[in-house]
């Protein structure tokens, strides 16, 4: 038996693609492996992720969803409940990642700020807003908001990204207080730089930079998606039922919270 047998989950930002999307697909497959039926949602086509889940014996529903749009999110939740009968887990993973081009505060355009906030802050809010009524019906639910270690350490020249991730932590804590009486747990999972083909190439070209980066970690090792998924499964399973409003950082000891 899996730890999530009988549960239904939504994972946003779950298509194959860049670092964030690649992590979302790993999240979705990990939940399916533990027995959950999973809606894999993204602005990109998620059918390949759903096919991988099905080939491994799991069940998945691929949906194209724009987390900036409230109706799109409502339709995602409705389609999930229509297909699977309930909703227990929401993983708010969709976001514009920290690999955006660096820009100083003085050069950061209002349009860039607004675009990132629409995805990284309004998106998780709208997804939670749509999912909560279904979780309340069950008297139980798990919401995991995906943060970043940069909201603790700070990251220069990406003010909008770091500010949005700080908002995610504040959102988590406020939601946990409000939704606790309904049996809905809300936590944040965060992580440091995850290795991708791009970062592996860049570090191979500049091993001195790679060594310097690792020197900031208590355990000077690279992090891969497989290193994150176990923590996520814990946070959405009954093993963490006594936890809410918490921030769990997975970065080999780069920052302490």
pTM of the model: 0.93
Q: Which of 161, 191, 213, 224 is catalytic?
A: 161
Residue 205 sits in a domain whose CATH number is 3.40.50.720
Query: In this predicted model, what pLDDT tens digit does every residue of 78-137 receive, in sequence order?
Result: 999 999 999 999 999 999 987 889 999 999 999 999 999 999 999 999 999 999 999 999
User: Domain for residue 256, yes or no?
Assistant: no
Is 140 labeled as catalytic in the residue annotation?
Answer: no
Residue 222 structural domain: 8-250
Band of residue 21 on the pLDDT scale cut at 50, 70, 90: very low
Question: How many domains are there within the chain?
Answer: 1
DSSP secondary structure string for all residues of 149-194 = THHHH--TT-HHHHHHHHHHHHHHHHHHHHHGGGTEEEEEEEESPB
3-state secondary structure of 62: strand
Residue 166 lies in a domain: yes
Which among 83, 87, 174 is positioned nearest to 127, based on CA atoms? 87
Higher pLDDT, 157 or 218: 157
């Amino acid at each position: 038996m899996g730890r999530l047998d009988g549960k239904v989950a939504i994972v946003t930002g779950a298509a194959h693609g860049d670092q964030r999307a690649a992590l979302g697909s790993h999240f979705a497959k990990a939940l399916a492996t533990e027995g959950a039926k999973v809606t894999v949602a993204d602005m990109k086509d998620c059918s390949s992720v759903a096919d991988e889940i099905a080939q491994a014996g799991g069940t998945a529903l691929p949906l194209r969803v724009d987390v900036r749009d409230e109706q799109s999110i409502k339709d995602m939740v409705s389609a999930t409940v229509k297909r699977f009968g309930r909703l227990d887990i929401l993983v708010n993973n969709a976001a514009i990642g920290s690999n955006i081009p660096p820009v100083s505060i003085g050069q950061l355009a209002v349009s860039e700020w607004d675009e990132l906030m629409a995805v990284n802050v309004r998106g998780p809010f709208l997804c939670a807003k749509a999912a909560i009524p279904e979780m309340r019906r069950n008297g139980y639910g798990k919401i995991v908001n995906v943060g970043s270690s940069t909201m603790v350490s700070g990251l220069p020249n990406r003010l909008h990204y770091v500010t949005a991730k700080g908002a995610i932590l504040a959102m988590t804590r406020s939601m946990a207080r409000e939704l606790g009486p309904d049996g809905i747990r809300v936590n944040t999972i965060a992580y440091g730089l995850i290795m991708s083909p791009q970062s592996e190439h860049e570090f191979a070209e500049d091993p001195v930079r790679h060594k310097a980066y690792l020197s900031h970690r208590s355990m000077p090792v690279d992090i891969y998606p497989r290193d994150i998924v176990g923590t996520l499964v814990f946070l959405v399973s009954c093993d963490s039922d006594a936890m809410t409003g918490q921030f769990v950082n997975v970065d080999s000891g780069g920052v302490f919270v």
